[in-house]
Amino acid sequence: MDIRSLAQKALSAAKREGASQAEAFAVAAVTRSVYVDDGRIKIVDEKSDQGLSVRVLKGRRLAQASSACVTAGEAEDCAHTASTLADRSPASRTFDRFPSPVTATLPAMSGDDRIASLDGSELVELVKATVGAAVDRGVKVPRGVLRAADVTSMVLNTNGVEICNHSTLVFAGFDAMAVGPSPGEGVCTFNSPWLKDYDPVRIGENMARQALAARGARSFEGSMKVPVLIAPGELMEMLDSSVTVALSAESVNKKRSPWGAMEGKSVASDSITLTDDPSDPRGALSAAYDDEGVPTTVKTIVEGGTLRGFLYDSYNSSVAGRMPSGNGMRRRANDAQYLFQTSPGCSPVNLVMKPGQRSPEEMIASLDQAVLVEKFAYPTVNPFTGAFALEARLAHVIRNGAVEGQIKHALVVGNIYEGLKNVVDVGNDVRTVGNMVLPTVAFDGLEVVGSK
């Protein structure tokens, strides 16, 4: 049974069970993946999944159930479970209504037709070219994956919402290793809705360059406070674990957001502008509607360093007494499997940082002393305090406007919320990373601490 029919069956069953309102989120996805292990292609697979998430309101009692689902009976069982859970759930103080139909203002995204008709052999050739480009430069590729997914999702509710989103995504993650007395690691990640953006030779060469540079890196000793340039991929991980939490209306409502009382006030350097742009074709999640059927909009969240607003799904907008902003998201930028198991949450659709005027090379040339970080071991930040102490696996020491050498085994210590107020430069080298489009950013005053 197709996902629209499954959703309709679930809504009908929920109404029979006494729901005052009901919502069905149905998704069908096909994911093709090629896995590398020990330098060789070991697995080529294609996975299809189809499922349903049903949310039920009984007055203000809200509950959700989800299930893999291909038959009418399974859809009805899912609705029954959600209804039973609603009977046992506490009542919300504010939430009593799912979204109503509203016409979109942004164009619908259609995804990449090439991915929809893709077979595994084309991905295999791309992986061979990626690994080959790295091996040709004297490094090994111990592990990696390239996946492409075609996703159709639908949101239907008893208020008349019926929205279909079609999206595609390409994700790659590869590790390279340069062997020697002190081995070096290179890492490549890639996100895009478009297969044409995947350049296997460039990606293979880049991770080989990283691995060879890391092999020659020395352990850093001592400490220094200097500007630190952070590459887009590492910056995305840091912002995703901090700023997206600070921008979430759920965090604001629970008094957990460091920016909760900062609307209209400065939270960053005037060189920082962040826009949630669901119309941007570079965004893997870009769409005219969010995953609750609310129209998305292009909205500036931080403008010249000033916080302009937060990201709302339907539930948290009711708590805050605001309108939903089209940021009730279930889909993910790097994986399309089992999306029906997730609940909607307040998240950017496609967070874009306004680029600066200079390339990373020009930024480096302007600095007397600094560090450029290409790879952290695990770049996460405390979402509530902003504190971090991250191990640099590959970093470059800059002196007198030039790269002097590479270092590793150093901690970069600071606070992301304070760091955003002390940005000294923003690059023009924007990349799509996860559900963000980011350049290299230089933060002043971070501490680099060595082993001695």
Q: What is the pLDDT of residue 181?
A: 81
Q: Where are the domains of the chain?
A: 3-215, 218-449
Q: What is the pLDDT of residue 366?
A: 96
Q: What is the pLDDT of residue 408?
A: 86
Q: Is 394 exposed, middle or buried (0-12, 13-18, 19+ CB in 10 A)?
A: buried
On whether the CB atoms of residues 173 and 144 are closer than 8 A, the answer is yes
**Per residue in 99-126, pLDDT tens?**
999 999 999 988 999 998 898 899 999 9
**Coil, strand or helix at 164:** strand
Q: What is the pLDDT of residue 452?
A: 63
- Detail the DSSP E strand segments found in 130-241: 140-157, 162-178, 184-192, 218-219, 223-230
**Per residue in 297-346, pLDDT tens?**
999 999 999 999 999 999 999 999 999 999 999 999 999 999 999 999 99
> What DSSP character marks residue 196?
G
pLDDT mean over 9-21 = 98
In whole angstroms, give the CA distance from residue 447 to residue 98.
Answer: 48
Q: Give the whole-number percent of the chain exceeding pLDDT 90.
A: 94
Can you tell me which residue has the tokens 């696996």? 393
Q: Give the whole-number percent of the chain exceeding pLDDT 70.
A: 100
Report which of 283, 306, 330, 312 is spatially closest to residue 430, judged by C-alpha positions.
Answer: 283
**Coil, strand or helix at 360:** helix
Tell me how far CA of residue 290 lies from CA of 99, 170, 293, in angstroms.
11, 20, 5
- Say what the pTM is: 0.95
Q: What is the DSSP string of 409-451?
A: SEEEEEEHHHHHHTEEEEBS--EEETTEEE--EEEEEEEEE--
Q: What is the pLDDT of residue 267?
A: 99
Fold observed for domain 3-215: PmbA/TldD fold (3.30.2290)
**Per residue in 204-230, pLDDT tens?**
999 999 999 999 899 898 999 999 999
**Per residue in 129-164, pLDDT tens?**
999 999 999 999 999 999 999 999 999 999 999 999
Q: Is the dihedral of CA 275, 281, 285, 288 positive or negative?
A: positive
**Coil, strand or helix at 269:** coil
**Residue 21 pLDDT > 80, yes or no?**
yes
